[in-house]
Amino acid sequence: MGAGTKITIIGGGVTGYPAAIKAARMGAAVTLIEKDLLGGVCLNRGCIPTKALLHAGEVLHTVKKAGDFGIVCEGAKVDFKAVMHRKNAVVQQLRIGVERLLKAKRVRVVQGTAELADATTVRIKETGEKILSDCILIASGAKPARLNFEGCDGPDVLDSNQVLELERLPKSVVIIGGGVIGVEFAQIFSGLGVQTMILELLETLIPGADTEISRALEGSIQKSGTRVVTQAKVEKIERVKGRNTVSYTVAGQRQTVAAEKVVLAVGRQPDLAGLGTERIGLAQQKGALAVNGRLQTNIPHIYAAGDVTGGIMLAHLATAEGECAVSNALGAGGHMSYKAVPACVYTSPEVASVGLTEEEACKRHDIIVGRFPFHACGKAQILDQTYGMVKIISEKKLGGILGVHIIGPQATNLIAEAVLGMTLEMTVEELAHAIHPHPTLSEALMESALTLCGGAIHLP
């Protein structure tokens, strides 16, 4: 296949629309079907709006701390309607940009719900239109997962989508789930002055993250005023005297907490609803579409990418998978590499990582670990953001970098250097002796590497 190939992409989120642009650049005739809004969950109800709200809290925090920098600034307060208006404006501006990009590449965008009529035909449910294609990419994304317990469907029990539609700030909120979504929502509410509590079933926040980093984040969140309870199993939610009482057990002891709103933040699950994948025999694994390393399903001309395939649900990974899928569909070839996939948490302090955790690495390798605290970094002192560290996990004999974990200021930007280094198979010594600009936060990466190569400059 090549120029002139007809490809239909189901889903216009961060998997589908970049894939459509890439396919158009490769000369394909592209049809992109989206049942809701272009940009999908990430742009409209995920990555972008949550970060806009998080930044509002950061601005408020900065204003309140202005006196520490010699700046007099009094009377700061939250205008929640204005906060939400700005969030919506940012989302709308970016969505319009996506629409213009697709139009410029002559991608045909169809507003409607797609279903697979057969292995080569996609039907639009609302209009009955049938679109015949040489190949199909399924990028239908994921939807919020929900728990099944008494009271979980109450009017004040919100999923991640509903939180972003609130018209006023609640006075208190309990968040069920301490993964990435849960801790970010906790940061949003807490940052805007809401009494906040997290209930997490497992031992640490952000399950799967490096334990040392996770515990450091938990300590910071608790210090900022959010109550965190781990190993908490939620049993039911009851409406009592106008408030929602959440019952949960910890170590066999039943406890309760009351709040105005309850947020379910227990992750997401692949969205295959109504696609008709069973009708044409597409293979599934644990509720997700099964694909090979080329993002190809068991039907050779049908590909799937992003959250609908399960696995690591990250926007940037979904984009890379979508681009890989259309490259293969159009004959260019290539396999997905998951060696250096960054994960980011936009709390304050931020958390970012790439590669193996210390727990994972020590099971497979003989390792050494380097750490450099931000309180020893000049730029962090300037910013008055000194909590956290850079942690590098290295293979002891050859010096290969197995994982990098950061908690601290601008961690989500700093991790890009580690991603590039690991992609290029940089050794810890090469990272240590790469010249870093001063004063910058990036020096903390260099110093962490130096701790494994003779000693950091700014540590005793």
C-alpha 411/C-alpha 220 separation (Å) is 15
- DSSP code for 219: H
Residues spanned by the domain of 62: 6-143+269-329
In one-letter notation, the amino acid at residue 41 is V
In one-letter notation, the amino acid at residue 135 is C
C-alpha 311/C-alpha 404 separation (Å) is 21
For residues 77 and 118, state if they share a domain: yes
Known catalytic residue at 438: yes
For residues 218 and 299, state if they share a domain: no
For residues 255 and 301, state if they share a domain: no
What are the residues whose beta carbons fall under 8 Å from the beta carbon of 449, sequence distance 6 or more?
370, 392, 428, 429, 431, 432
For residues 81 and 43, state if they share a domain: yes
For residues 13 and 139, state if they share a domain: yes
User: Is 455 among the domain residues?
Assistant: no
Asked whether the beta carbons of 286 and 157 are under 8 A apart, the reply is no
User: Which residue, of 266, 289, 305, is where some domain finishes?
Assistant: 266
CB atoms under 10 Å from CB of 116, counted, come to 23
User: Is 89 among the domain residues?
Assistant: yes
For residues 409 and 428, state if they share a domain: yes
* pLDDT by 10s per residue, the chain, length 460: 556 799 999 999 999 999 999 999 999 999 999 999 999 999 999 999 999 999 999 999 999 999 999 999 988 999 999 999 999 999 999 999 999 999 999 999 999 999 999 999 999 999 999 999 999 999 999 998 878 888 888 899 999 889 999 999 999 999 999 999 999 999 999 999 999 999 999 999 999 999 999 999 999 999 999 999 999 999 999 988 778 999 999 999 999 999 999 999 988 999 999 999 999 999 999 999 999 999 999 999 999 999 999 989 999 999 999 999 999 999 998 899 999 999 999 999 999 999 999 999 999 999 999 999 999 999 999 999 999 999 999 999 999 999 999 999 999 999 999 999 999 999 999 999 999 999 999 999 999 999 999 999 999 9
- Write out the two tokens for 404: 């990098």
What are the residues whose beta carbons fall under 8 Å from the beta carbon of 148, sequence distance 6 or more?
none
For residues 11 and 137, state if they share a domain: yes
Asked whether the beta carbons of 418 and 399 are under 8 A apart, the reply is no
Q: Which of 344, 341, 386 is nearest to 179 (CA)?
A: 344
End-to-end Cα separation, the chain, in angstroms: 61
Count of domains observed in the chain: 3
User: Is 459 among the domain residues?
Assistant: no
Helix (H, G, I), strand (E, B) or coil at 224: coil
C-alpha 389/C-alpha 213 separation (Å) is 9
For residues 84 and 229, state if they share a domain: no
User: Is 1 among the domain residues?
Assistant: no
- DSSP code for 185: H
Specify the CATH number for the domain of residue 129: 3.50.50.60
Angle at 95 between CA 90 and CA 98, to 5 degrees: 135
Distances (CA, A) of 78 to 60, 172, 190, 259: 8, 15, 12, 20
Helix (H, G, I), strand (E, B) or coil at 73: coil
Candidates 61, 375, 438, 458; catalytic one: 438
User: Is 337 among the domain residues?
Assistant: no
For residues 112 and 11, state if they share a domain: yes
C-alpha 357/C-alpha 349 separation (Å) is 19
User: Is 361 among the domain residues?
Assistant: yes
Please list, residue by residue across 421-431, b when 16 or more beta carbons sit within 10 angstroms of its beta carbon and e when fewer do. bbeeebbbeeb
Provide the whole-model pTM.
0.95
User: Is 445 among the domain residues?
Assistant: yes
Distances (CA, A) of 268 to 103, 143, 231, 309: 31, 5, 20, 12
For residues 258 and 393, state if they share a domain: no
For residues 313 and 191, state if they share a domain: no
User: Is 316 among the domain residues?
Assistant: yes
Residue 215 has a pLDDT of 97
User: Which residue, of 287, 305, 329, is where some domain finishes?
Assistant: 329
Residue 144 has a pLDDT of 87
Helix (H, G, I), strand (E, B) or coil at 199: strand
Helix (H, G, I), strand (E, B) or coil at 204: coil
For residues 70 and 83, state if they share a domain: yes
Specify the CATH number for the domain of residue 412: 3.30.390.30
Strand partners, 196: 173
User: Which residue, of 235, 266, 297, is where some domain finishes?
Assistant: 266
